[in-house]
């Protein structure tokens, strides 16, 4: 039998299997689609959170408040700025004078101008706002920069929101663990369901398979229809996941308030996401088929 006839037979056989076990096939495809949707939604939200946190990270900076006599040090402000810029992990240093600090405070508390009556800029400290490079934006590395800057004799106090940064870092680490766990759990569940769906089909045609083996059919020839069935299950599940994802996207965009908009802005290329879903569905469908076929053929050997 040539390759085209083998493929035709296998495809026809797979179609017969699906038709004979239609509701089981639909249920399996729906379960796979739902699992892929849940995982894809979680990944979209997780990646969006990373993007949002990355934006917050870009605004993370160290504030070094200067002593009142800091300008009297050799070289003045420019020299002090150069010393700060020379530290490992420092990307940018911005000097904020006392006058500028007062202007910023007035801008932040505008509408309460009475508070600033009689307030002079000399009451506020000058400072350096130090932007940290991306690879140094974890609590431990920022702390190392802070310790160096804190040792400068012209620095009065250093602030960088260490508690907030530590909590943020812990949250991201926790989400990464949850993503891995959900992916593993859903993947295992889908493989189990697909494997059992194919197994039901195999056992319903057990006698036919035994006859095929008796007349000389190879294991490869016997496997092909069930692999095609698993592949179809995977594609159907992936297509359903795509539809559910677009429905979720539509619902979120219309119903969720603007302050939750970061959740629905998909940072993935939409075509890449579709390819990933389709590939995941095909892989899980095929692997599920192989698992059930391997066990059956081994037990019947």
User: What's the pLDDT tens digit per position in 214-266?
Assistant: 777 777 777 788 888 888 888 888 899 888 888 877 776 555 554 454 444 54
Q: Quickly tell me which residue has 């600033």 as its tokens.
A: 116
Nearest Cα to Cα of residue 160 among 54, 52, 49, 65: 65
Q: How many other CB atoms are found less than 10 A from the CB of residue 214?
A: 8
Backbone torsion region of residue 152, taken as left when φ is above 0, otherwise alpha when ψ lies between -120 and 50, otherwise beta: beta
**CA 266 and chain centroid, separation:** 11
Average pLDDT over residues 277-291: 85
Four-residue CA torsion sign, 257, 262, 263, 268: positive
Q: Given this model, what pLDDT does residue 75 score?
A: 62
Q: 203 with 24: CB under 8 angstroms?
A: no
Instruction: Report whether pLDDT(81) > 60.
Output: yes
Q: How many other CB atoms are found less than 10 A from the CB of residue 232?
A: 20
The encoded tokens of residue 65 equal 């408040």
Say which range, 30-34, 37-41, 108-112, 134-138, has the weakest mean pLDDT: 108-112
User: What's the pLDDT tens digit per position in 27-72?
Assistant: 888 888 888 888 888 777 777 777 666 666 566 678 888 887 766 6
Contacts of 209 (CB under 8 A, 6+ apart): 202, 222, 300
179 band by pLDDT with thresholds 50, 70 and 90? confident
Q: Given this model, what pLDDT does residue 199 score?
A: 78
Share of the chain above pLDDT 90, in %: 0
pTM reported for the whole predicted model? 0.61
User: What's the pLDDT tens digit per position in 146-175?
Assistant: 888 788 777 888 877 666 666 766 777 787
Q: Given this model, what pLDDT does residue 259 score?
A: 46
Q: Given this model, what pLDDT does residue 197 score?
A: 76
* Exposed e or buried b per residue across 60-77, where buried means at least 16 C-beta atoms within 10 angstroms of its C-beta: bbbebbbbeebeebeeeb
**CA 49 and chain centroid, separation:** 8
Q: Given this model, what pLDDT does residue 119 score?
A: 61
How far apart, in Å, do the first and last CA atoms of the chain sit?
24
Please report, for residues 134, 184, 246, the alpha-carbon distance to residue 175 in angstroms, rounded to integers and kept in the order given.
20, 14, 24
Q: Given this model, what pLDDT does residue 158 score?
A: 83
Pairing mode, strands 90-96 and 127-132:
antiparallel
Q: Given this model, what pLDDT does residue 255 score?
A: 58
Q: What is the mean pLDDT of the chain?
A: 75
In the chain, the domains with their CATH numbers are: 3-55+167-300 (no CATH), 61-159 (3.30.70.3040)
Average pLDDT over residues 117-121: 61
Polymer length of the chain: 301
Instruction: Report whether pLDDT(115) > 70.
Output: no
Dist. CA 151–CA 137, nearest whole Å: 20
């Amino acid at each position: 039998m040539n390759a085209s006839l083998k493929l035709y037979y296998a495809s026809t056989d797979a179609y017969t299997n699906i038709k004979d076990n239609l509701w089981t096939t639909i249920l399996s495809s729906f379960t796979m689609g739902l699992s892929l949707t849940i995982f894809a939604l979680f990944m979209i939200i997780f990646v969006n959170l990373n993007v949002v946190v990355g934006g917050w990270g870009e605004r993370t900076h160290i504030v070094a408040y200067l002593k009142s006599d800091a300008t009297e040090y050799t070289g003045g402000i420019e020299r002090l700025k150069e010393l700060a810029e020379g530290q490992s992990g420092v990307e940018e240093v911005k000097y904020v004078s006392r006058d500028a600090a007062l202007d910023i405070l007035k801008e932040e508390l505008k509408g309460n101008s009475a508070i600033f009556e009689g307030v002079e800029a000399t009451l506020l400290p000058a400072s350096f706002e130090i932007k940290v490079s991306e690879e140094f934006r974890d609590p431990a590395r920022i702390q190392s920069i802070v310790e160096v800057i804190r040792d400068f004799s012209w620095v009065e106090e250093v602030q960088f929101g260490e508690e907030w940064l530590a909590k943020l870092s812990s949250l991201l680490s926790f989400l990464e663990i949850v993503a891995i766990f959900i992916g593993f759990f859903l993947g295992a569940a889908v493989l189990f369901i697909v494997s059992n769906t194919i197994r039901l089909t195999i056992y319903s045609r057990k006698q036919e398979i035994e006859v095929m083996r008796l007349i000389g059919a190879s294991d490869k020839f016997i496997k092909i229809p069930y692999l095609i069935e698993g592949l179809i299950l995977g594609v159907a599940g992936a297509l359903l996941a795509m539809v559910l994802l677009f429905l979720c996207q539509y619902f979120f965009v219309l119903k969720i308030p603007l302050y939750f908009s970061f959740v629905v802005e998909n940072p993935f290329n939409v075509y890449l996401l579709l390819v990933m879903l389709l590939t995941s569905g095909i892989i899980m469908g095929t692997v599920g088929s192989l698992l059930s076929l391997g066990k059956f053929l081994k037990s019947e050997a």
